[in-house]
Amino acid sequence: MHYKYLIWAGTVTLTIFSVFLLVMIQKTADTATNTNTISFTGEGKVFAIPDIAMISFSIVTEAKTSKEAQETNSEKSKKGVDFLKNQGIDEKDIKTTSYNVYPQYSYPRPLPLGTETQSYPAQGSSGIVYPEYYPSNPKITGYQVNQSFEVKIHDLEKVSVVLDGLVSAGANQVNHLGFKIDDEEKLKEKARQLAIADAKEKAKNLKKQLNIRLGKIINYSEGGGYPIHYRLEAQAFDKAGVGGNGPEIPVGENEIVVNATITYQIK
């Protein structure tokens, strides 16, 4: 009976030791894989002419009461939205991005406290007298309503007309104008392919110079940015910067950039 127990205990111990040994071997292999690595970074760039414009604008209205300010602002907003629709812009491409009502304050001049005074020392004299004042409490004098919109324009020929017409329709702030590519993912995929090819080409050249053998790819990461690159040689401004139907707006072209980093195991 004691003999069977010893066999069982020995089997359990051997099993635990085998599992521990396998874990240590795997850990050592993983450490070696992570330690003996080399990374290469490639860059891919794609240029494309934007096909949509994004305009953000605001309509700001002030009045004595909150109700009057909101009603007046609603009338101006409706006029602006109707103008956009008349330009063939779909309703789904016009949206409100913010709506705020702010009280407007005035700060009355402080009133003296009558004859009560307080003495303050002054250079070259025994003292100088200043009057004390009642604290000044701000008073609400009216309200301001600020409604902001964002509109997407697919016909870039209408950008100038829209900008000019929005101001006439009641917009008193044009906050931003930007040009985008509607299907940017397709261009980003092309830039990614160029970046990966660039990284692999660098790996191919450098392994010869370093006299190393590359193993499997063990990691991949990417980043990028989308700065706008303007080509103005094909565009022209008149002397005032304004055309007959609104401001002259060069579209330029956008630059899609992807940076790809590939990490190889060194054999």
Q: Which of 160, 180, 200 is the last residue of a domain?
A: 180
160-164 mean pLDDT: 91
Write the pLDDT tens digit of every residue in 167-184. Answer: 888 899 888 898 988 888
CATH code for the domain in which residue 128 is found: 3.30.70.2970
Long-range Cβ pairs for the range 241-246 (8 Å, 24+): 243/160, 245/160, 245/161, 245/164, 246/160, 246/161, 246/162, 246/163, 246/164, 246/165
Shared domain for 87 and 170, answered yes or no, is yes
User: Strand, helix or coil at 146?
Assistant: strand
pLDDT tens-digit series, residues 83-108: 999 999 999 999 999 999 999 998 77
Percentage of the chain beyond pLDDT 70 is 68
Residues 132 and 197 in one domain: no
**pTM metric for this prediction:** 0.59
Shared domain check, 232 and 143: no
Whether pLDDT at 8 is above 60: no
Does 125 or 86 have the greater pLDDT score? Answer: 86
Query: What span, in angstroms and rounded, lies between the C-alpha atoms of 35 and 152?
Result: 50
**170, 71: one domain:** yes
Q: Is residue 82 part of a domain?
A: yes
